[in-house]
Structure 1
Amino acid sequence: MTALAAPAAQQLIDGKLVAASDGTSYPILNPATGAAIGTAPDGTAADVEAAIAAARRAFDESDWSTDRELRLRCLRQLHAALLEHADDFRALTTAEVGMPSFMMGAAGFDVPVDGLKWVADLLADYEFSADLGEAAPMGIATRRRVLREPVGVVAAITPWNVPTQINLAKVGPALAAGCTVVLKPAPDTPWVACELGRLVAEHTDIPAGVLNIVTPSSNEVAAVLASDPRIDMVSFTGSTATGRAIMAAAAPTLKKVFLELGGKSAAIVLDDGDIAAAAGATAFAACIHAGQGCALTTRLVVPRERYEEAVAVAAATMESIGAKDPADPGAICGPVISRAQRDRIAAYFEIARAEGATFATGGAVIDQDGWWVQPTVIAGLDNSSRLAQEEIFGPVLVVIAHDGDDDAVRIANDSPYGLSGSVDSASLERARAVAARIRTGTIAVNGGVWFSPDAPFGGYKQSGLGREMGVAGFEEYLEMKTLAEPAERGV
């Protein structure tokens, strides 16, 4: 199977691979060319209703939530199926998402698939019950236990930028916990989610209704997932604006909400740091997948006296990377996902000009088939500018001057977001001290790498609520029940 020869995208509802109930579909476009490479079912309100009903029934009436061995077997089957179809899945991802093929060895495929194995291994040994021992509250001899139980039916709503990573980071832990799931991928990238559903249907013993995948193009059709009382939890990754809307829609039923939202992360270089190395690495990171990563560092914060040097290195790095066909093994920066995203980035270039910015390199879209943007370094702005405050989601790096460690911390924290960041210094102790003051959910010190299946990921402030991956990410899908029994009957 190649990307264009992949089985047609189908929804997975109550154990069956199906088209939209009214037969409608929409085109799946290759961002590198703008050409249609397939179609996806345009899921209807009836499809979403059927998926919710199936997930509710599977949770309430099947053994899925209580049979750990069944869940473990099914997760291991899915992991094996993904490995068996790895080359096809990678090719499909590059074609549908526009993701450079080099990323398949990281967030594009290998890390999320490793993460599925990691969560299965966690499930094998996880203690769902903890004994608090005996006590005598109010003089009554009592034995207490804390039980961990699945939260119930989960609506998983995922974005287009790294779909397999985020699909599996939600579906894997939720299924391992004993939940049932309705997965709604972004309409820009439905096919990889549908392929996941096909592997589940054809290569695993996951019971009907446990995992459902619907692909409506309409936000209105999908919105019921956040408000329907049969849904116990919404797990969403995407923009902060949409996260607010989901939180509001979930409020009347007080359902649990996990949100992984936007970022405007700062890469701080202290005055004893290696400016050339840090500026080059940050510019490289800002180009990865055309800058379409919420945790990428898109503000480079450098000592004022080294500012011009940092700008020059960052610009030279981006110029050497360029924007290339994502199927090219040497591509780092591919296309952006859509015409709308390209135009949004172009609008930010106009905002930068109006704010008095200088483009050290880039600053324009690329006139060719597909949706392409020049890797761009912006200089001459301070942290109050819109370019420094707002998430652009393109290959755009803003370089900002600082006047010492305290000022660098101030700049980094002067943001509505708090997702990630980095600190570079010749002194590990000094870098750690600065990192400790940055209000972000993840931070790299002197080149350390935090992205791994066993490490929790999430943000402070408007970057979200809760954590994904790691034990903390698994436990997002569990409730706690304290059970008390008379001590003489306790075991």
Structure 2
Amino acid sequence: MTVNSYTPAGRPAPFAIPTDSLIGDAWVPSASGKRIKIADPATGAVLTSVADASVDEAMGAVDAAEAAAAAWAATAPRKRANILIACFHAMMAEQEWLAHLISLENGKALTDARGEVAYAAEFFRWYAEEAVRVNGELSVSPTGGNRILVQYQPIGIALLITPWNFPAAMATRKIAPALAAGCTVILKPAEETPLTALAVAEIMRRAGVPAGVVNVVNASDPGPVCSAILHDPRVRKLSFTGSTEVGRILLREAADQVISSSMELGGNAPFLVFDDADLDAAIEGAMVAKMRNAGEACTAANRFYVQRGIHDAFVERLSAAMGALTVGPGTEPGTQCGAMINRASIQKIERLVADAVSRGAEVKLGGQTLDRPGWFYPPSVIANVQPGSEILSTEVFGPVAAVIPFDEADEAVALANATEYGLAAYVYSEDLRRALQIAERIECGMVAVNRGLVSDAAAPFGGVKQSGLGREGSHHGLIEYCEAKYIAVSW
């Protein structure tokens, strides 16, 4: 069978990227012949297309995952670890090529894309190390009547649904722990950025991952496809990264078969700067927390609460720093802020900024869509954002910083917690005691103190409230793909 494929221009390619569904050991075109067009956000031009999988093809992926499940679960942890470390080295060997591919289909700057590839590959290395450390437990019953033996077993076939903003890292953050635990998977990438996921899957095949352990399907209408998979009793795990709205729908779907669900959902991260903060460090951290991936990240700082004594200086410095960034196609070496993913993203940003301005906010930088091909919005700073502005309650997912002054610490904490989300937060203060006290009071799963980056493969990533369920990364991320089995024994 001829495999449909795509070779991105501009970089030497280690292989042509298959653009069909990966089912078992074969790349399978859609039986209907339907394809999903993939656009370059920097130009709007179509790059290529990928197979649009039907429910039948999705069920084929479940069949393939089931066929491989028993052998993979029985594979020695050290052998699984060796395969994962081979995936790490294979990804890093193609870092530049993968970064170029990510920039092409996602729009992000090459510097961000290189960072993503390194972060994505790190999950293979981390879980190669964790695969051999799924330790059980042995204890004596309090009554002395029996021993309590606990062992961790693979939970089963997992459906992994990933977003477009980190097409490599969100895939490996789910695939690596699942494989380390002994599970087989079906990956459903975002419709906007499937090429990176397909390239990673091919790299994994070449690195020695057995057929059927990793399967990939794309769908222009993912609802029926994901529903069919989740209603198959062989599927026992769902891991989703995306919006809270879609997460709620998937949780309802998963409930019918009582499927274990991990959800990494929306964010609305507050960035708190106190008067005693190191202003240089706060600006440096703000640029990372806000402008990583041009603001298209669930951990991106959305609401900047700055104590009044330092507020004006912070706004001035942040505006200067963001205004100095070069905006352009992500594949161009000098670009620091790339394109947004699509026109709908631009329209959402425009709406949020217009609403804030109509309520009295001041545009200090940017605030207008750039008149050029592609989907670009400039780095923007809006100050004195008023209560009730939609931008304070809605994830921007773009390069816009909303700045609000505060007076007292209790006020800052109340403002930070005034959201249904609770993923990440940032606190800047030279008083470490106060910073840690504030960190404990903020309702979120992750807090960065005097730094603008929280993501780390070795750390538990996840949120509270409507930002999600469960954790990814660290040892916690591996246990998400395990079932604890208790065996009562007497001797």
What band does the TM-score fall into relative to the shorter chain? Answer: over 0.9
Q: Secondary structure at the match of 2:382?
A: strand
Find the partner of 1:131 among 131, 138, 142: 138
Q: Kindly provide the amino acid, as one letter, of the partner of residue 81 in structure 2.
A: L
Task: Note the alpha carbon deviations across 1:101-157, whole angstroms, 9 max, x for none.
Answer: 112442x10022122111101113x1442222x4474x7x42221110111010000
Aligned to 2:104: 95
Task: Note the alpha carbon deviations across 1:376-429, whole angstroms, 9 max, x for none.
Answer: 112222343211111111111110111111111111111111111111112222
Does 2:82 match 1:73?
Answer: yes
Structure 1 residues 242 and 136, CA gap change in structure 2 (3 angstroms): closer
Q: Distance in 2 between matches of 1:102 and 1:457?
A: 23
Does 2:24 match 1:14?
Answer: yes
Does 2:129 match 1:121?
Answer: yes
Q: Distance in 2 between matches of 1:462 and 1:50?
A: 33
Structure 1 residues 88 and 10, CA gap change in structure 2 (3 angstroms): farther
Q: Kindly provide the amino acid, as one letter, of the partner of residue 207 in structure 1.
A: P
Q: Distance in 2 between matches of 1:127 and 1:158?
A: 25
Does 2:33 match 1:23?
Answer: yes
Cα shift at 1:310: 2.3
Aligned to 1:111: 119
CA RMSD of aligned residues (A): 2.0
Q: Distance in 1 between matches of 2:359 and 2:231?
A: 41
Query: Residue 78 of structure 2 contacts residue 131 of structure 2 at CA under 8 Å; is this kept in 1?
Result: no
Q: Distance in 1 between matches of 2:328 and 2:122?
A: 28
Find the partner of 2:54 among 35, 44, 48: 44
Q: Distance in 1 between matches of 2:288 and 2:363?
A: 17
Q: Distance in 1 between matches of 2:294 and 2:62?
A: 35
Aligned to 2:293: 289
Aligned length: 480
Q: Secondary structure at the match of 2:112?
A: helix
Moved more, 224-233 or 285-294: 224-233
Structure 1 residues 348 and 320, CA gap change in structure 2 (3 angstroms): same
Does 2:237 match 1:197?
Answer: no
Query: Residue 292 of structure 1 contacts residue 394 of structure 1 at CA under 8 Å; is this kept in 2?
Result: yes
Query: Residue 285 of structure 2 contacts residue 452 of structure 2 at CA under 8 Å; is this kept in 1?
Result: no
Q: Distance in 1 between matches of 2:486 and 2:470?
A: 22
Cα shift at 1:82: 1.6
Task: Note the alpha carbon deviations across 1:264-283, whole angstroms, 9 max, x for none.
Answer: 11111112123454245414
Aligned to 1:380: 384
Does 2:316 match 1:318?
Answer: no
Aligned to 2:8: 3
Query: Residue 156 of structure 2 contacts residue 183 of structure 2 at CA under 8 Å; is this kept in 1?
Result: yes
Moved more, 78-87 or 49-58: 78-87
Q: Distance in 2 between matches of 1:400 and 1:165?
A: 32
Equivalent runs, 1:175-186 vs 2, <5 Å: 175-186=179-190
Q: Distance in 2 between matches of 1:67 and 1:276?
A: 50
Find the partner of 1:216 among 219, 224, 246: 219
For structure 2, list consecutive stretches of 5 or more residues without a partner in the other structure.
1-5
Query: Residue 151 of structure 1 contacts residue 179 of structure 1 at CA under 8 Å; is this kept in 2?
Result: yes
Q: Kindly provide the amino acid, as one letter, of the partner of residue 387 in structure 1.
A: I
Cα shift at 1:284: 5.0
Q: Distance in 2 between matches of 1:46 and 1:201?
A: 23
Q: Distance in 1 between matches of 2:168 and 2:61?
A: 20
Q: Secondary structure at the match of 1:443?
A: strand
Structure 1 residues 280 and 449, CA gap change in structure 2 (3 angstroms): closer
Cα shift at 1:443: 1.1
Aligned to 1:361: 365
Equivalent runs, 1:251-400 vs 2, <5 Å: 251-275=255-279, 277-279=281-283, 281-283=285-287, 285-400=289-404
Q: Distance in 1 between matches of 2:396 and 2:121?
A: 28
Moved more, 73-82 or 35-44: 73-82
Q: Kindly provide the amino acid, as one letter, of the partner of residue 112 in structure 2.
A: M
Cα shift at 1:322: 4.2
Moved more, 109-118 or 71-80: 71-80
Task: Note the alpha carbon deviations across 1:39-91, whole angstroms, 9 max, x for none.
Answer: 111111111111112212322x4343453244223223322322333322121
Does 2:471 match 1:476?
Answer: no
Q: Secondary structure at the match of 1:365?
A: coil
The percentage of counterpart residues that share the same residue type is 34
Query: Residue 2 of structure 1 contacts residue 92 of structure 1 at CA under 8 Å; is this kept in 2?
Result: no
Query: Residue 280 of structure 1 contacts residue 313 of structure 1 at CA under 8 Å; is this kept in 2?
Result: no
Q: TM-score, normalised by structure 1?
A: 0.93
Cα shift at 1:21: 2.4
Structure 1 residues 449 and 348, CA gap change in structure 2 (3 angstroms): closer
Does 2:66 match 1:62?
Answer: no
Q: Distance in 2 between matches of 1:253 and 1:189?
A: 29
Query: Residue 118 of structure 1 contacts residue 453 of structure 1 at CA under 8 Å; is this kept in 2?
Result: yes
Query: Residue 173 of structure 1 contacts residue 477 of structure 1 at CA under 8 Å; is this kept in 2?
Result: yes
Query: Residue 271 of structure 2 contacts residue 305 of structure 2 at CA under 8 Å; is this kept in 1?
Result: yes
Aligned to 2:242: 238
Q: Secondary structure at the match of 1:394?
A: coil
Aligned to 1:207: 210
Task: Note the alpha carbon deviations across 1:444-487, whole angstroms, 9 max, x for none.
Answer: 11227532211111111111111110011111111101111221
Aligned to 1:438: 442
Q: TM-score, normalised by structure 2?
A: 0.93
Q: Distance in 1 between matches of 2:203 and 2:276?
A: 51
Aligned to 1:83: 92
Does 2:435 match 1:428?
Answer: no
Query: Residue 259 of structure 1 contacts residue 464 of structure 1 at CA under 8 Å; is this kept in 2?
Result: yes
Moved more, 423-432 or 76-85: 76-85
Query: Residue 146 of structure 2 contacts residue 490 of structure 2 at CA under 8 Å; is this kept in 1?
Result: yes
Q: Secondary structure at the match of 1:366?
A: coil
Q: Kindly provide the amino acid, as one letter, of the partner of residue 290 in structure 1.
A: A
Q: Distance in 2 between matches of 1:10 and 1:81?
A: 22
Query: Residue 262 of structure 2 contacts residue 470 of structure 2 at CA under 8 Å; is this kept in 1?
Result: yes
